[in-house]
Amino acid sequence: MELVCFLGKDKENWGQVSGLVNNGSWDKIIFVKNKDAEDFPAENVEVIEINCTKPLIELKNELIEKLRKRVSTFDVGLSIASGSGKEHMAIISALLSIPVGIRLVVFTKQGVEFVN
């Protein structure tokens, strides 16, 4: 399964992403990153930078265009621990429009868990 993580400017939530990257068994990892966010220290990760100041529909369309070229499975693990509601709506809507199934994923004390 491929992992798609949104990385916003809220660095305090990046530990969640780190836990998923380091403890999951992923075929591919894709970071969708707010262009204003700092770089996340990870290897073997594809990074898509987006302009989160765009209106929601424009942001969604940008994500569809960029994610369609990168996602190669029927469903993905999705982490939205970082970012804002607008960013979350755009990435969820874009993935569903590609279309790709979404399995929300979180890192807990028990390890990587799917919450849907």
Q: Which CATH number do you get for residue 98?
A: 3.40.50
The token duo for 32 is 């969708």
What is the predicted pLDDT for the residue at 48? Answer: 94
Q: pLDDT tens digits, residue range 6-34?
A: 988 887 787 889 999 999 999 999 999 98
Judge whether 46 and 35 are in contact, CB under 8 Å. no
Higher pLDDT, 110 or 9: 110
Residue 14: the pLDDT is: 79
**Residue for token digits 């799917």?**
114
Task: Look over the chain and give the mean of its residue pLDDT values, rounded to a whole number.
Answer: 92
User: For position 20, what pLDDT does the model report?
Assistant: 94
Which residue range forms the structural domain that includes residue 105?
2-114
**pLDDT tens-digit profile of 61-88?**
999 999 999 999 899 999 999 889 999 9
Across the beta sheet with 28-34, what order do the strands follow?
Answer: 46-50, 28-34, 2-7, 75-79, 101-108, 111-114
Pairing between β-strand 111-114 and β-strand 101-108 as defined by DSSP bridges: antiparallel
Number of other CB atoms surrounding residue 65 within 10 Å: 11
Please give the tally of structural domains in the chain.
1
